[in-house]
Amino acid sequence: MNYNYSSLSEVQADLRVGAVTCRQLVAYYLENIGEKNAVLNAFLAVYDEEALQRADEIDQKIAAGTAGRLAGMVIGIKDVLCYKDHGLQAGSKILDGFVSQFTATAVQRVLDEDAIIIGRQNCDEFAMGSSNENSAFGAVRNAADISRVPGGSSGGSAVAVQADMCLASLGSDTGGSVRQPAAFCGLVGLKPTYGRISRWGLIAYGSSFDCIGPITKSVEDAALLLEIMAGPDEFDSTVSQQSVPSYSLLIASSQSSQANLCIGYLREGVESEALQPEIKQAMQSKLDWLREQGHVVEAVDFDLLPYILPTYYILTTAESSSNLSRFDGVRYGHRSSKANDLMSLYKKSRSVGFGSEVKRRIMLGTFVLSASYYDAYYTKAQKVRRLMKEQTDRLFEKYDFLVMPTTPTTAFPIGDKTEDPLQMYLADIFTVQANVVGNPAISIPNGTDTQGMSMGLQMIGKPFGEAELLAFSKYVIEGTQVGVDSSF
């Protein structure tokens, strides 16, 4: 039987009337994960027996009327999130054999609401990549065309939802790693405000950029997952102490469709010659529709756009150089058997354990942090980051939302950009701003190109304005439906 649901509300409606059980749902997803979709390489570990056992427990809770808000939601978690007594490798050989000793706060909170975790999902090594080709376990493939990438670094998480191997996934977003694969796979991907969700239990890449975010088929599911995962956490000193709104209730009762909004769109997001023509056309059509609804829609120029990627990569590589120093082959993970002293142990373990992209970023980060270049690169990048934050804040004094394409192109062929790192980095041109300044951002489906590949529309909101951002996203999806799959 086909249990291809597009939202948790549909699942729970059938659970209530006995049309499906959690066990049947898990069995359905396990079948999809199996040989049918093995070529996609989305999962690194599947918790089949454990998921079925948990499904039975939640079926009993449903019958007793004691089930949590996520009962019936089968999710996968990106291979950078800790889950006690389960393997964790961040897509890298350096963590071969590592088993997590605790559970990430975000993961624990969805478990507490009776979500079922079905497995651990493939990703770019240490979340460093825009195509999911950097994993030590091989590239993930886009379910719409297996010759193309799914986006990265949360590629396995996106493909798992795209190919109906789970209802939702938990990914991480450092420069677009939730939104870009969501766009390439025709899904909803949310990056919350920095500090909205605890990072406790997330393997660090760039600590001042990293965010945990959901990848779903519906805005409603993204809102509910955010509501459950967000909030203060004694284990994370950087998490916000602000109270958590009832996002799911707020978007359900939103009057966004009747409000006169002021919307700014990035001029380069429509006029750039580098933009794929179908994305440009879809973007223009969406802007025209918003005008027809009575909203003010204006072009905005972000003067610092040419400096966004250099600033992002200087700062994130610096932070990754520091964060990844803990993976040394001494305490856990891969340890070279050819070492004959401590220095050779470090060198040989790390040179074999890390992939080429991770080593590239560690070396770049070590360079910009070196005594001779610290002020010239790292300090200057921090100053530019502050200018970007101030300029973005000024835009939000006038505009309710900023809109732009999520990506400049649709999913590109596997291997197309691997020889040119700069071309690969340009895939993040529209997504990194939200991480640099810390604002929430979301990618929603925006049609398909002539090859049938999905396009994404990105919207950025005010800090801690996720309720308004989610409501606006729901309004845009429901109001246009241009080229969007009917399941949305």
Residue 177 catalytic?
yes
Please name every residue paired with 189 in a beta bridge, in sequence order, or none if there are none: 215, 443
* Biggest alpha carbon–alpha carbon distance for the chain: 72
Residue 390 exposed, middle or buried by CB count within 10 Å (0-12, 13-18, 19+): exposed
Tokens of residue 447, six digits: 């049609």
Selected catalytic residue, list 6, 7, 78, 348: 78
Residue carrying structure tokens 């006038």: 398
Selected catalytic residue, list 153, 172, 320, 454: 153
C-alpha 121/C-alpha 57 separation (Å) is: 24
Residue 153 catalytic?
yes
DSSP string of 183-215, one letter each residue: HHTT-EEEEPPTTSB--TTBPPSSTTT-EEEEE
Residue 272 catalytic?
no
DSSP 75: E
CA-nearest of 423, 455, 476, 460 to 279 is 455
441-448 β-sheet, strand order: 43-46, 116-121, 74-78, 168-173, 211-216, 188-191, 441-448, 454-460, 401-405, 262-266, 296-300
Are the beta carbons of 468 and 400 closer than 8 angstroms?
A: yes
β-pairing, 401-405 vs 454-460, is: antiparallel
C-alpha 168/C-alpha 150 separation (Å) is: 16
Selected catalytic residue, list 130, 169, 177, 198: 177
Q: Which residues are catalytic?
A: 78, 153, 177
